[in-house]
Amino acid sequence: MEFDCNEIARCSITPTIAVVSPSLHARDKRFLLGKEPPMFSMPIVNLLARGRELTETGKRVSVLWQHSDTLVFLARGREYRSEFHINPSDETMQMIKGEMRLHYEGSIIYTPAGTPHSPRFGPDAFALISERKRRAGEIDRFHWYCAACDAFLHEETFVVRDYAEDPVSKAYKRFFDSEEFRTCQTCGQVMPTPDSL
């Protein structure tokens, strides 16, 4: 069976991103063409409404689904974000509302596992993040650097079992609660704490 890329437009599902490869398995091709039922039903989520909920509750993360090897969540920006996250899995980020300051081009960003990245966007902006759910023993790391001399300040590490527990907020709390962690051993500069976490 030949796979016709134009057939995707007639599918009952409209993918946001479609990666078409000649090496796709026949079952995957049938699914993309709407001829094969999905293995489970995906949640239908109004991302902007979910973003408003995050703003109203003050929360930073809303997990949309978290299965054995898949994790997708909506993240609300952190105006104080300054660290670099080093994720043990690949990750994609798509801005839903607002602007993200990350030194990559394009509206969807792919970050390979192990790449330090610091997505910075305000609390009125939202990004849809898709990652592989962490495997047993994998560690997420968060690094902070001195704003005055770029020297390494501190590392926080987490084993992420459930992303709904918001490990990024916990990393920030531990970092900002310690003046020792925020003090540069090279130049003596102390990173100020934000008005609110």
In this structure, what token pair is assigned to residue 195? 């008005």
Can you give the pLDDT at residue 192?
Answer: 95
Only one residue has tokens 């962690």, namely 181
Under a CB-based contact definition with an 8 Å cutoff, are residues 120 and 100 in contact?
yes
Can you give the pLDDT at residue 32?
Answer: 54
**Range list of β-strands (E), the chain:** 61-66, 71-76, 84-86, 91-97, 108-111, 126-131, 140-145, 152-158
Write out residues in the chain with pLDDT < 50, as ranges.
1-24, 27, 103, 105-106
pLDDT, tens digit, for every residue of 60-85?
A: 999 888 887 888 889 998 888 788 88
Nearest Cα to 131, choosing from 91, 159, 99?
91
Nearest Cα to 97, choosing from 121, 113, 119?
121
Spell out the domain ranges in the chain.
Answer: 1-39, 47-182
Can you give the pLDDT at residue 141?
Answer: 92
Can you give the pLDDT at residue 162?
Answer: 85
Can you give the pLDDT at residue 168?
Answer: 83
Task: Say how many C-beta atoms besides its own lie within 10 A of residue 145's C-beta.
Answer: 18
CATH class of the 47-182 domain in this structure: mainly beta
Can you give the pLDDT at residue 5?
Answer: 32
